[in-house]
A and B are shown apart, each in its own frame.
Chain A
Amino acid sequence: MSVSPEHFTQASDIAQRLQAEIARSVVGQTDAVRAVLASLLAGGHVLLEGMPGLGKTLLVKALAKTFSGQFARIQFTPDLMPADVVGHAVFDLKNQSFTVRRGPIFTHLLLADEINRAPAKTQSALLEVMQERQVTIEGESHPLDAPYMVLATQNPIEQEGTYPLPEAQLDRFLVKVLMDYPSAAEELELARLTTQGRIGDALDVAAVNTLIKPETVATLQQVVAQVRVDEQVLDYAVRIVRATRDWPGIGIGAGPRGAIALIRLARAWAVLEQRDFVTPDDVKQAALPVLRHRIAITPEAELEGLDADRLLRGLLEQLPAPRA
């Protein structure tokens, strides 16, 4: 399927407007908003990491409202069972038959809060659904409505009593977005907005307007998939991923899925930049969110105080950009 330049312009405009609309409710966190929106356009799932109270839930609610999508939130706890997430079959006495009670996973945007607090069995159930985009209950498959996106959150502190996600499962997330504290000006604006004429501290996304329908998101995703990627850019993405495998300080590099994710996100990034082709800059910008959870740094590097972001930045600085 080829997309006309007009369609690209239209898609790009919508993406821009979606970003602006979310920003009306989510103060600051520009990079996080952009990465989450790009992931939605690329059809990927997001792992959000940040301290509590930085607006993770607000971001997801605002995003859901922009395309009138359904939004569900599951607070992961150590006693959460797979059936609590995906749903289960119950026997209906009136009809004398089993009926399927769908779990909260049947939604457009699912916020899996503190995913690392649930045991591996429940995590696996969710991650399987993320991969297959369908749920099997009592042997019957139930496809999930498009667009479907999981935003799982992790708390960087309080690792006590958690079940860290294994590398293989982390790979299922297209990006890992780090949400940092807002700047002083942003925090001031945030305090003003959330306290003026409000009762309690409930998150309010009233300021966010619905711009599109869920079906339009699916169309946008198709447009993003058509963004042109030159061979050199493709080669650059693959070279970045391959370089992570023998880069000093990186113990385990990213797998082939890393390069695929890099290109997917770079495409969405290009659309947000109002371009219908991917440049090496898009790949470079996508590299950090896409690769930071796909690599494992060596204990020596960890002892030296290095982290995945710093190592990847060093790699990107030294890896030659594509040859023209």
Chain B
Amino acid sequence: MNLDQLQIDARPRPHAQAIDLGSALLREHARTVYLTWWAIWLPLGALIALLSPQSLLVWNWLLLWWLRPLIERSTIFILSRAVFGEQISVKQALRAWPSLLRLGWLRSLTWWRPIMVGRGLYQPVWVLEGARGELANLRRRVLGARGAYGSAAWFGVICAHFEFILQFALISLLGIFLSSAEQINPFLLLQDEFAAGRWENHLPLLTYLFSAGIIGPYYAASCFTLYLNRRAELEGWDIEIALRKLARRRSSQLAPALGKSVSKTISKTLGVLLAAMLAFAFPCTPAEAAADCSKLARPDQRTASRSASANPEQARLRQSIDQLAGSEEFSNWECVEGWQPKPKKPEKEEKDDRDWEWLRKLLNADGPKLPVADILKPVFIALLIILVAWLIYRNRKLLGGLLGSDKDEKGFVPAAEICGLDIRPESLPSDIPASVLALWHDGQHRAALALLYRASVSRLAHRYALELAAGFTEGDCLEAARTAVRNGQISKEAGEHFTDLTRIWQAAAYADRWPEIATLQQLCQRWRQLHGGAQ
């Protein structure tokens, strides 16, 4: 790997940019990548179509999906060469593909790896680095850190959605065209509707072939550039490339003046500088940094801070002091190692601090203490309860239907008003026939007939529990009564009485045609026989 030949700008990028770089790279080499992909993809699909049993034709595309990580290797191979300026032809890529399969093909297809949505990030570990076992695990952990695997996984989810949409759209489109004109069914292909041996049976596979054939290379390319970005970040490719450029420039400037040997020296110096910078960029671990206590020089500050002795007395005193200090009691030296938390970083911007200081004071326990959480919690719970209650109330009919609760089970509530007449039992007089006749004799013919009619409807609704809605007309009530007679809910006589009464009431109410008193008396008498006089 020669970083000087790298065709992309190897600076550490945000993950989204790194993924986007993959699409740019794919655009550049789309012809080779897609042709290679389809050259493997199509025969593989044809083979699966031929070998699948008839009963599995709707779902055999899943086999193709399972084998897809192996096809993705061709894209990685082409692009890994392309980023270092090596142009691979389709033929070369196809020739190289079988050898790529040897690099952990079983690993790619087993365990959780085929269903791992971010597998594109790890494919180069197997394919390009050839890592295996524990080393591969370690590499995966390192590469997937700092959210790189998360980005690859989310990108995988997005690509899977696009694939699904494309495949489903194709299935629906073909379903619409293939279904009969009388009954258009977009899901025809998923319903195993075609006879054995028909070419239409292979269409689900074909739709997957098409959708994955478009999205698949895109996913592999983008994950590959995410992998490159992660390596550039970890290995400081950009720094290395920059220093190499600097070294080249300096050597080319100095070469004519100082000769070859000097330029070599400068190159070496820069090399050392590079090593030092890399060491700085990747500081050693705490274990390495902490020196062995036994190797540490004993602190001897006394001798270090002494001035030169002025007289023999002082020299003698110093000697005795040193003798004493050198005794075992004063020579205890201990080296203690331990962990300490790093000091917290100062806040980024003091300005922000000032802006939000009032809120922090308000919410912080140090400031004026307000029970914000204590207030908000019950408020949110109450709002949630209200929302749920409102949704239940709004969809009560639907819920009633789903739970299969009939009106009978819930207890049917009879209507209070039919045709504008109050039919609640409590609104009626105790002796209805007597009241009807009294009103009639009083000259209130309409009121008399209305009372008799609403008393009859009230009986139907409240005594016989007929379901009468507020919008029912006389005809609807009559039909309900006839149905009730057929069902045995009310007697035939009661049904006939209600029919006669309705006719008379309609003629009176809408045509001002009033019955004879004898007719009314007869109706009242029949009413009394059927329902009894008093409430």
- Chain A residues at the B interface, C-beta cutoff of 8 Å: 228, 230, 232-233, 276-281, 284-285, 316-324
Contact = CB atoms under 8 A, between A and B. Distances in A.
A228 B509 CA distance: 12
Contacts of B446: 324
Given A278-B510, A281-B476, A324 B419 contact: yes
B418 interface: yes
A284 B475 CA distance: 10
Contacts of A279: 473-475, 506, 510
Contacts of B453: 324
Given A279-B506, A280-B419, A321 B511 contact: no
A255 to B, nearest CB: 23
Contacts of A278: 510
B471 interface: yes
Given A277-B513, A320-B417, 15 more contacts: A228-B511, A232-B509, A277-B506, A277-B510, A279-B475, A279-B506, A279-B510, A280-B419, A280-B474, A284-B473, A319-B471, A321-B420, A321-B472, A321-B474, A323-B421
Interface in B488-511: 506-507, 509-511
A280 B477 CA distance: 12
A285 B479 CA distance: 13
29 contacts: A230-B510, A277-B506, A277-B510, A277-B513, A279-B475, A280-B473, A280-B510, A281-B473, A281-B475, A284-B475, A284-B476, A316-B471, A317-B469, A317-B471, A318-B470, A320-B420, A321-B418, A321-B419, A321-B420, A321-B471, A321-B472, A321-B473, A322-B420, A322-B473, A323-B419, A323-B421, A324-B421, A324-B446, A324-B509
Interface in B463-486: 469-476
A277 B475 contact: no
Interface string B407-423: 00000000001111100
B469 A324 contact: no
A318 B420 contact: no
Interface of B: 417-421, 446, 450, 453, 469-476, 506-507, 509-511, 513
B473 A230 contact: no
Contacts of B421: 323-324
Contact of A318 (B418, B471, B474, B511): B471
Contacts of A320: 417, 420, 470-471
A317 B480 CA distance: 14
Nearest to B470: A320
B473 A324 contact: no
B450 A324 contact: yes
A319 B417 CA distance: 12
B484 to A, nearest CB: 18
A322 B474 CA distance: 10
A322 B506 CA distance: 12
A155 B474 CA distance: 36
Nearest to B506: A279
Contacts of A233: 510
A224 to B, nearest CB: 15
Interface centre among B418, B450, B474 (most CB of A within 10 A): B474
A323 B419 CA distance: 6
Given A322-B419, A324-B446, A281 B474 contact: yes
Contacts of B471: 316-321
Given A322-B419, A324-B420, A230 B509 contact: yes
A312 to B, nearest CB: 12
Contacts of B510: 228, 230, 232-233, 277-280
Nearest to A283: B473
B452 to A, nearest CB: 12
A316 B473 CA distance: 10
B468 to A, nearest CB: 11
3 shortest interchain CB distances as A-B pairs: A323-B420, A281-B475, A277-B511
Q: Which of A276, A281, A319 has the most CB of B within 10 A?
A: A281
A223 B457 CA distance: 34
A322 B475 CA distance: 12
Contacts of A323: 419-421
Contact of A277 (B417, B473, B507): B507
Contacts of A322: 419-420, 473
Contacts of B470: 318, 320
A321 B471 CA distance: 5
A276 B471 CA distance: 24
Nearest to B453: A324
A139 to B, nearest CB: 48
A285 B510 CA distance: 17
Contacts of A317: 469, 471
Nearest to A316: B471
Contacts of B511: 228, 230, 276-277
A114 B33 CA distance: 56
A155 to B, nearest CB: 13
B444 to A, nearest CB: 13
A285 B476 CA distance: 10
B203 to A, nearest CB: 26
B18 to A, nearest CB: 42
Contacts of A276: 511
Contacts of A316: 471
Contacts of B474: 279-281, 321
Nearest to A158: B181
| Max chain B C-beta neighbours (<10 A), residue from A277, A318, A320, A324 | A324
A230 B474 CA distance: 15
A230 B450 CA distance: 16
A280 B507 CA distance: 12
B34 to A, nearest CB: 38
A281 B474 CA distance: 7
Nearest to A282: B475
A276 B512 CA distance: 12
Contacts of B417: 320
Contacts of A228: 510-511
A149 B325 CA distance: 133
A319 B473 CA distance: 10
A276 B506 CA distance: 11
A319 B453 CA distance: 20
Contacts of A277: 506-507, 510-511, 513
A187 B352 CA distance: 82
Contacts of A318: 469-471
B11 to A, nearest CB: 50
Most buried by A among B420, B450, B474, B509: B509
A278 B512 CA distance: 12
A284 B473 CA distance: 8
A197 to B, nearest CB: 32
Contacts of A281: 473-476
A228 B507 CA distance: 11
Contacts of A284: 473, 475-476
Contacts of B475: 279-281, 284-285
A233 B511 CA distance: 11
A244 to B, nearest CB: 14
Contacts of A319: 471
B176 to A, nearest CB: 15
B337 to A, nearest CB: 72
Nearest to A276: B511
Nearest to A233: B510
A301 to B, nearest CB: 16
A324 B453 CA distance: 11
A232 B511 CA distance: 11
Contacts of A324: 419-421, 446, 450, 453, 509
A320 B450 CA distance: 17
Contacts of B513: 277
A320 B511 CA distance: 20
